[in-house]
Amino acid sequence: MKNYLFIISRAPYASSHAFEQLEAAMVAAVFDASVTVLLRDEGVWALQPRQEGSATQQNTFAKALAALPAYEVEQLYVCRASLNKHSVSADPSLGFEPMSLAAQQRLIDSSDVVIGGQS
Amino acid sequence: MKNYLFIISRAPYASSHAFEQLEAAMVAAVFDASVTVLLRDEGVWALQPRQEGSATQQNTFAKALAALPAYEVEQLYVCRASLNKHSVSADPSLGFEPMSLAAQQRLIDSSDVVIGGQS
Amino acid sequence: MKYALAVHGAPYSSNAAEHALSFIEALQACGHDIERVFFFHEGVYQGLNGQVTPQSLHDNALQARWAAVAAQGIELAVCIASGIKRGVVDSAEQERYDLPAATLHTDFTLVGLGQLIAAIDNADRYVEFPA
Amino acid sequence: MKYALAVHGAPYSSNAAEHALSFIEALQACGHDIERVFFFHEGVYQGLNGQVTPQSLHDNALQARWAAVAAQGIELAVCIASGIKRGVVDSAEQERYDLPAATLHTDFTLVGLGQLIAAIDNADRYVEFPA
Amino acid sequence: MSLHLVFSQNGLSACLQRRLPADPVLMLGDGVYACQQWLREQLPNDLAFVLAADAAARGIGDEQRGDIAAVDYAQFVSLTEAHSPIVSWQD
Amino acid sequence: MSLHLVFSQNGLSACLQRRLPADPVLMLGDGVYACQQWLREQLPNDLAFVLAADAAARGIGDEQRGDIAAVDYAQFVSLTEAHSPIVSWQD
């Protein structure tokens, strides 16, 4: 199997793009692919603490993220520059490691497949 | 009839949003409404000279703009700050008058109806 | 007051429908009238008749909420020009163009852009929910 | 080489279909194989069966071009999860959920997300056309 | 007097350039993320509102919102009663 | 070596931050408007390409494009043959 990088660059609640990306990442993991998830730009809002999707009758995105390790998706990164730009204090319990832009360059270069061009 | 301000803030070819906005403006004019069109942000690409929609089997947006006066839509403005930001040299034959941000504030305030929130 | 509303976003691409529906429910609670809800641009996809609400979102079944709005006599007007090019057609258009199926939900109706302008002109307020 | 492609944009909301179709035509001219075209997110609307191409765009009838791709045995695979919640359903799903109509064009087929991953894994290249 | 509906962070920037300084602004959808920009630019808090449900879903609480009022849909309706035109900013 | 497909002006900014300096970039769709940013930042022109049809539709000619090469779909295919992964940037 190839190694897959899923990039999420949209915020979680206005559209279902981020949810659908996550579903695809979980399916790749079920296929025993090596899966990495990177949150960048508005995608970093996914780590905002105290989300409560039920306030708008939606699922809570942070809970979907928390399920990733159960699918053996354990390489979880978030763009540090994007966190700073949006002043997001990532919920540490979600286990996303901040990553520099230089490291993101190397991560993309070393991936067989990059999924996440929508945004 | 009320006076209508149609704002176009998306570039013309990647989506049909700008074309559809223009159709709505023409229909309002056919209803004898007073119609103003304002291009702002990426919408200013609508004035780029030498467009040739046929290169991608589309209609040329500048030609649709040129038809506005035939519908008696003659109050045509473009955000000067957006032109500068994108370095667009507006095709002068299209008759869009550059407008300051302060004038746009007054234009919006004096409109009965503002259409164009998609982008 | 009389309100004209426009929905520009497709389901799951924006919150346009959720915002519009909750706003409509609040307008009615306040005793306001709704002249027409107009679906424009990608908003026309709100009227597709085959949407299956995911179980996880069953409290937010958009079409059930639209049905409740239509049941009160409020017109759910899909822009015919935006609709037919995207594949949102009623049975009249299905016949006219010899298409395999009518895809517009029966709670919605296809109308021309003039009906957007007419609604706005009759209304005291126009509120737009973008994509 | 073998290619897997993904289309994420709806018609008229992005150039995703035009880009993908012209790219496919060029791939075939170069003798490459296409493992599968996968329609994900709003890309599922490409498969609606009632689209009426505006006369002004008749040189760019997307569904006629997709039909030509399908006729060469290339699978046009619509994500079933993305599709059914948006109202893009085949006759099997129509029956299962008791919906008024099948809305998926017969050139397209509903498949699970696993088919995206399988196509990519079998291919040498993956190219994505966003919304 | 206009009411501005802001649906994104970029939408707030576009709106702030083109609104009269006394016009109120309601941030909703992903627009609720823009309340930090409002506070950073020290704009008058009595002119800003966020839609409570959208803020709660996204985890935008008092810390992010400061003194900006969270409103429900009934208050959203009241704002539209009192203002015209109503301008949406998505960007 | 990666190939980057850029579909918007913001997409180019996001891409430039995250691409290795030797990776080529193809601008297509509204991404062709970004070629001015490429020239302004004085990035190496031999790594940049615009899709000819999309540039022509939008009126992006030699003046805007400078020495950035305009390619057709066959050359687009060649670029994808020579590079992996292929990364799309819409933003």
* pLDDT tens-place string over residues F4-42: 999 999 999 999 999 999 999 999 999 999 999 999 999
Question: Reduced to 3 states, what is the DSSP secondary structure of residue F10?
Answer: helix
Supply E6's token pair: 């802001």
Q: How many CB pairs under 8 A join A and F?
A: 44
CATH number, domain containing residue F45:
3.40.1260.10
- Weakly modelled stretches of chain A, pLDDT under 70: 117, 119
Yes or no: say if D85 and D74 are a contact pair by the CB < 8 Å rule. Answer: no
Residues paired with residue E3 on neighbouring β-strands, in sequence order: E86
CA distance D65 to chain B (A): 13
Quote the tokens at residue B112. Answer: 């009965």
Q: How far apart are CA E38 and CA A86, in angstroms?
A: 13
More confident residue, A5 or D61: A5
Structural domain including F79 reads 20-84
Q: Residue length, chain E?
A: 91
Using only the alpha carbons of chain C, give its radius of gyration.
Answer: 14
- Say if F42 falls within a structural domain: yes
Q: Is C131 helix (H, G, I), strand (E, B) or coil?
A: coil
**pLDDT tens string E3-36:** 999 999 999 999 999 999 999 999 999 999 999 9
b/e string for A27-44 if b means 16 or more Cβ within 10 A? bbbebebbbbbbbbbbbb
Please report which confidence band the pLDDT of residue D27 belongs to, taking 50, 70 and 90 as the band edges: very high
Nearest CB to C19; choose among E28, E77, E81: E28
The two tokens of residue B119 are 């982008």
Instruction: Find the helix packing angle between D62-71 and D16-29, rounded to 10°.
Output: 40
| Mean pLDDT for the stretch of residues B95-106 | 98
Q: Which residues contact C28 (CB under 8 A, 6 or more apart)?
A: C34, C72
Cα dihedral angle (F57, E89, F90, B25), rounded to 10 degrees? -20
The DSSP letter of residue A15 is: S
Q: Is residue E41 part of a domain?
A: yes
Q: Which of D16, D44, D74, D79 is catalytic?
A: D79
How many domains is chain E built from? Answer: 1
Q: 3-class DSSP state for residue F47? A: helix
Q: Is residue E15 part of a domain?
A: no
A neighbour chains, 3+ CB pairs within 8 Å: C, D, E, F
Give C74 to chain D, closest Cα distance, Å. 22
How many domains does chain D contain in total? 1
Among C48, C79, C110, C123, the active-site one is C79
Q: Which amino acid is at A50?
A: R
B 56-115 near E (Cβ less than 8 A): 81, 101, 104-106, 108-109, 111-114
Identify the band that residue B117 occupies on the pLDDT scale cut at 50, 70 and 90. Answer: low
What pLDDT is attached to residue C121? 97
**pLDDT tens digits for chain C (131 residues)?**
999 999 999 999 999 999 999 999 999 999 999 999 999 999 999 999 999 988 776 667 899 999 999 999 999 999 999 999 999 999 999 999 999 999 999 999 999 999 999 999 999 999 999 99
Q: Is the pLDDT of residue F44 over 90?
A: yes
Confidence band of D55 (pLDDT split at 50, 70, 90): confident
Among the partner-chain residues C6, C113, C129, the one whose CB lies closest to the CB of B23 is: C113
Is C31 at the interface with chain D, CB within 8 A? no
Min Cα separation C28/chain E (Å): 10
Cα-Cα-Cα-Cα dihedral sign, residues E76, E77, E80, E82? negative
Compute the distance between CA of residue C82 and CA of residue B53 in angstroms, rounded to an integer: 20
Give C-chain residues touching D99 at CB under 8 angstroms: 49-50, 52
pLDDT tens for residues A96-110?
Answer: 999 999 999 999 999
The single residue listed with the structure tokens 């949003």 is: B17
F90 domain-assigned = no
Beta-strand pair C125-129/A97-99: unpaired
Residues of F in contact with D26 (CB under 8 A): 72-74, 76-77
Q: Tell me if F65 is assigned to some domain.
A: yes
- pTM (2 decimals)? 0.98
CATH number of the domain where residue D21 is located: 3.40.1260.10
Residue span of the structural domain in which C6 resides: 2-129
Q: F25: which strand partners?
A: F4, F48
Number of C-beta neighbours around residue C31 at 10 A: 7
Q: Among all residues of chain B, which has the CA nearest to that of C114? A: B27
Token pair of C94 as six digits:
């299905």
Residue F57 inside a domain? The answer is yes
Separation CA F90–CA F13 (nearest Å): 10
Given this model, what pLDDT does residue D54 score? 86
Alpha-carbon distance of C76 to C92, in angstroms, equals: 17
| Cα gap D75→A1, rounded to integer Å | 22
How far is CA C16 from its chain centroid? 10
Q: Is E66 helix (H, G, I), strand (E, B) or coil?
A: coil
pLDDT over threshold 80, residue D90 = yes
Q: How far is E25 from E8, CA to CA, in rounded Å?
A: 12
- CB-based burial label for A52 (10 Å; 0-12, 13-18, 19+): middle
Residue B119 has pLDDT above 90, yes or no: no
Decide if E60 contacts E91 (C-beta within 8 A): no
Classify D76 as helix, strand or coil.
Answer: strand
**Contact partners, residue F50, CB within 8 Å, separation at least 6:** F26, F27, F28, F31, F32, F35, F60, F65, F68, F69, F70, F71
Contacts of E32 in chain C (CB under 8 A): none
Closest CA to A4 of A28, A40, A22, A21: A28
What pLDDT score was predicted for residue A108?
A: 98
Give the pLDDT of residue D59.
Answer: 65
Structural domains for chain B: 3-116 (3.40.1260.10)
Residue E4 lies in a domain: no
Q: What's the CA gap between A68 and A61, in Å, rounded? A: 11
Are the C-beta atoms of residues C34 and C1 closer than 8 Å to each other? no
A56 vs E60: CB contact, 8 Å cut-off?
no
With beta carbons under 8 A apart, name residues in chain E contacting B116: 88
Is residue D30 part of the annotated active site? The answer reads no
pLDDT for residue E44 is more than 70: yes
3-class DSSP assignment, residue B52? coil
